Amino acid sequence: MTQISFDASALKKFVHENELGEMQAMVNAADSELRNGTGAGADFRDWLHLPTEYDHEEFDRIKKAAKKIQSDSEVLVVIGIGGSYLGTRMAIDFLHDSFYYSQKPADRKFPLVLFAGNSLSSSYLHDLVQLIGDRDFSVNVVSKSGTTTEPAIAFRIFHELLVKKYGEEGANQRIYATTDAKRGALKTEADAAGWETFVIPDGVGGRYSVLSAVGLLPIAASGADIDQLMAGAADAEKSYTNPDLTQNEAYQYAAYRNILYRKGFTTELLENYEPNMTMFAEWWKQLAGESEGKDQKGIYPSSANFTTDLHSLGQYIQEGMRNLMETVVKLDTPNHDVTIPAAENDLDGLAYLQGKNMDWVNTKAYQAVVAAHNAGGVPVMTVHIPREDEYTLGSLIYFFEVAMGISGYLNGINPFNQPGVEAYKTNMFGLLGKPGFEAVGDQLRAQMKENEK
């Protein structure tokens, strides 16, 4: 059973005792849509059983490929964007030392996992190539189609670097393609060149894909235990199947955030008290925003890193517009703790804290913030996690995935599509001169000239 716990005790000022129970009928309907495939987007629900019904043969190949990468590469470059990037990046940050990216190879022991294709910044790509330098490296390119602009450009560049360094045949032994099982430009190229391939399942959208080969290969290559990652997710899958709101804490979270949304709390801040969870919030923002932001409705997902952001955003959260709700992911036991030392003088005024552990202080800060924000009119929910390890992360990923599926159906939307994402792509293709988009480009250029007048 998952060791994650959800705490809604700080909502008493904002949600009456009867309100959660009155959501039960709606939750039952949302659960039926999700579990029975009667809701919109039913073709993209395969993530529901991914922790228990994954391809075990592919899973073994992933672990073997990870060992090969560990044996012949000091760096693994993962090329992808959106769901092909964020889940992996957040897992690497969550599971490794806070200064993982600055560690010496001997201290890190496994390949350094770096990322490309997640932006169109030429400076970033140049600096990444410079950072790799003469070190041995491999590439994991992640794309369903192989034609998404950002990763496709990055892959062209790194493919050329591999060929220059290792020759065509040697390069082919260092490219791992995670893509469609049967079709697409990347699949075609991979089959022709003999690259090892892994599958992005048809029924799993990008933002739900971290527990597939999309995330598992680079996470394993980094030295993390993907067996435990999947075990945590599998236990969460079992824990969050009962739609009874008195039993299912992931559904409670989904219900409470919808209750608050209907009361005007339209922005949700996902918060943490650990800097290495910053990217977890970035992953969550895609999961929430891409799942719910449709049809001119949906909770706006944002994030804050405490206590750091209490010195920048804290004033607004405390006294700004009262449209904010907060969800804290609180680590109960840190990987390491530090004792505050004594000093000969007390110029900094910390004598009352000497001998205390920093995590004790951090927890008191969390408790103080919840009380202050509640008093200021901000509802706070907390997801407690026992530790930062693979099992916990697997459970946490599944907790939020299933909660967002239910939350989307509670709001009457399809939580598994993303039609709005295509708008900027169409305009970009037009301005770049991509064949077939010339009319769009002409229209946009005319519009820009008109705006300049």
Query: Could you tell me which of 145, 168, 141, 138 has the C-alpha nearest to residue 156?
Result: 141
Q: Can you give the pLDDT at residue 424?
A: 74
Q: Which fold has domain 48-224?
A: Rossmann fold (3.40.50)
pLDDT tens sequence across 135-186: 999 999 999 988 899 999 999 999 999 999 999 999 999 999 999 999 999 9
Query: Could you tell me which of 297, 295, 279 has the C-alpha nearest to residue 87?
Result: 279
Q: Are strands 324-331 and 267-272 parallel, antiparallel or unpaired?
A: parallel
From the list 67, 169, 425, 438, the catalytic residue is 425
Q: Can you give the pLDDT at residue 363?
A: 97
Say how far apart CA 137 and CA 154 lie, in whole Å: 15
pLDDT tens sequence across 14-56: 999 999 999 999 999 999 999 999 999 999 999 999 999 999 9
Q: What is the pTM of this model?
A: 0.95
| Cα dihedral value 109, 60, 34, 243, nearest 10 | -70
Question: How far is CA 168 from each of CA 175, 197, 204, rounded to the nearest angstrom?
Answer: 11, 17, 33
290 is catalytic: yes
Q: Which fold has domain 5-39+230-411?
A: Rossmann fold (3.40.50)
Q: Can you give the pLDDT at residue 449?
A: 74
What are the residue ranges of helices labelled H in 173-305?
Answer: 185-193, 213-221, 226-239, 249-262, 278-292
Question: How far is CA 114 from each of CA 124, 157, 175, 245, 430, rounded to the nearest angstrom?
Answer: 12, 15, 15, 41, 31
DSSP 82-102: GGGTHHHHHHHHHHS-TTGGG
Q: Where in the chain is the domain with CATH 3.40.50.10490?
A: 5-39+230-411, 48-224
Give strand ranges (E) for 23-89: 75-79
Say how far apart CA 25 and CA 227 lie, in whole Å: 37
Q: Can you give the pLDDT at residue 327?
A: 98
> Which percentage of the chain shows pLDDT scores above 90?
88
pLDDT tens sequence across 62-105: 999 999 999 999 999 999 999 999 999 999 999 999 999 999 88
Cα 386–Cα 83–Cα 385 angle in degrees, nearest 5: 5
C-beta separation of 183 from 151 below 8 A: no
Q: Can you give the pLDDT at residue 441?
A: 76
Confidence of residue 410 (pLDDT cuts 50, 70, 90): very high
Q: Is the pLDDT of residue 452 over 90?
A: no
Q: Can you give the pLDDT at residue 147?
A: 86
Per DSSP, 378 falls in state -
Contacts of 40 (CB under 8 A, 6+ apart): 33, 413, 414, 416, 417
From the list 150, 290, 292, 390, the catalytic residue is 290
Query: Could you tell me which of 434, 391, 406 has the C-alpha nearest to residue 3?
Result: 391
pLDDT tens sequence across 357-399: 999 999 999 999 999 999 999 999 999 999 999 999 999 999 9
Of how many residues is the chain composed? 453
Mean pLDDT of the chain: 95
